[in-house]
């Protein structure tokens, strides 16, 4: 790797940290605080909106990438536009809450940009449709799962590392940059939260991780099912919690504390221990993922299905234990 690339990567880490400090100062000046409540997992008023630092860092990296790799300029700028849309509606919502439908419409537009890139690269409309649905879902999943210190950031770091390991050549830098941008933010949010990510950051992280999945689906031969394995913890907890709320007739779009990680905290576990458990499970997930990326497609799919079913069984077991 060229010395200039190493300098650039260190700059990503430093810029994210500096911008997070600036975001905290802004939030305190504007009294932009998350207040404790029955549907919250924190006990003191805490500044929010720190995820804007990750977003701005990624956008600066997009501009730098477009300058140094002209052949990828269009792809990078389309991704940057989608990221800005998701972050922009999240920033607005952090300042003045918006109806869920309005946010969802923006998410669909941004996801359509990624889907268009997938369609252009593969010529496969079904793969593009899958990218659209997956991206829209992951934006909201990351938002749902951003409820305790460090959990959304550390899972994004793991995802960035996982896809960096399988993406070829300079494309791996996409995963590394995402991981470093999150790492620059992490000390401000974990183990003690001096600022929360906010919707501006959580939705944008979901979009960025979805972009990595779409990129891997185009640039590698890894099956879509196996590409989900690094995200298992969030997909299972968010997906089955949402399904359980729907089946029980609850208003599933309203804020709640029924995710497994939230139940654990409500049951007395610390944010640090719960985030740590999710991180350890994520390490196992990316180990399984990396070990199986050279299998034949049917075996990749078999491993992915087995892993996700096993994770679902673990989720059901833990959820039942916490209920009692």
Tell me: the pLDDT tens digits for 147-188? Answer: 899 999 999 999 999 999 999 989 999 999 999 999 999 999
Instruction: State which residues form the domain around 318.
Output: 3-323
- Judge whether residue 87 has pLDDT over 70: yes
User: In the Cβ-directed half-sphere of 103, how many Cα atoms lie within 13 Å?
Assistant: 23
Rounded to 5°, the CA angle 179-183-185 comes to 125
**Short-list 202, 204, 188, 209, CA closest to 19:** 188
Secondary-structure percent of the chain, ordered helix, strand, coil, rounded to 5: 75, 0, 20
Q: Which residues contact 184 (CB under 8 A, 6 or more apart)?
A: 12, 13, 14, 15, 16, 17, 19, 20, 53, 54, 57
Pairwise pLDDT comparison (95 vs 115), residue with the higher score: 115
* DSSP annotation of 84: H
Is 8 within 8 Å of 177 (Cβ atoms)? no
Please say if the pLDDT value at position 61 is more than 60: yes
Kindly write down the DSSP assignment for every residue of 112-152, as one continuous string: HHHHHHHHHHH--HHHHHHHHHHHHHHHHHHHHH--STTHH
Question: Which DSSP category does 171 fall into?
Answer: G
Phi, psi (rounded to 5 degrees) for 180: -70, -40
Please state the pTM of the whole predicted model: 0.95
Whether pLDDT at 36 is above 70: yes
Cα 151 to Cα 67: distance, rounded to the nearest angstrom:
33
Number of folded domains in the chain? 1
C-alpha span between 324 and 317 (Å, rounded): 11
């Amino acid at each position: 790797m060229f010395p200039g690339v190493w300098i650039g990567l260190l700059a990503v880490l430093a810029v994210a940290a500096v911008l997070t400090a600036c975001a905290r100062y802004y939030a305190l000046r504007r009294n932009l605080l998350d207040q404790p409540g029955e549907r919250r997992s924190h006990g003191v008023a805490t500044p929010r909106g720190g995820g804007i630092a990750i977003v701005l860092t990624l956008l600066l990296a997009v501009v730098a990438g477009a300058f140094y790799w002209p052949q990828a300029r269009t792809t990078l700028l389309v991704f940057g536009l989608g990221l800005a849309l998701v972050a922009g509606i999240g920033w607005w919502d952090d300042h003045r809450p918006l109806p869920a439908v309005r946010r969802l419409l923006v998410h669909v537009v941004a996801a359509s940009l990624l889907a268009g890139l997938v369609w252009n690269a593969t010529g496969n409309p079904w793969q593009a449709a899958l990218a659209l649905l997956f991206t829209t879902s992951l934006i909201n999943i990351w938002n749902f799962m951003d409820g305790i210190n460090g959990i959304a950031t550390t899972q994004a770091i793991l995802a960035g590392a996982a896809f960096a390991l399988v993406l070829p050549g300079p494309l791996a830098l996409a995963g590394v940059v995402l991981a470093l941008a999150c790492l620059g933010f992490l000390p401000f949010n974990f183990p003690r939260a001096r600022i929360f990510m906010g919707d501006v950051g959580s939705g944008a992280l979901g979009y960025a991780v979805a972009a990595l999945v779409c990129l891997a689906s185009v640039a590698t031969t890894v099956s879509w099912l196996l590409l989900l394995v690094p995200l298992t913890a969030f997909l299972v907890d968010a997906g089955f919690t949402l399904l359980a709320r729907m089946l029980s007739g609850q208003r599933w779009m309203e804020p709640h504390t029924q995710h497994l990680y939230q139940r654990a905290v409500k049951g007395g576990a610390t944010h640090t221990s719960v985030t740590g458990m999710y991180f350890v499970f994520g390490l196992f997930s990316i180990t399984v993922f990396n070990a199986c990326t050279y299998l034949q497609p049917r075996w990749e799919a078999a491993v992915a299905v087995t892993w996700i079913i096993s994770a679902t069984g673990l989720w059901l077991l833990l959820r039942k234990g916490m209920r009692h």
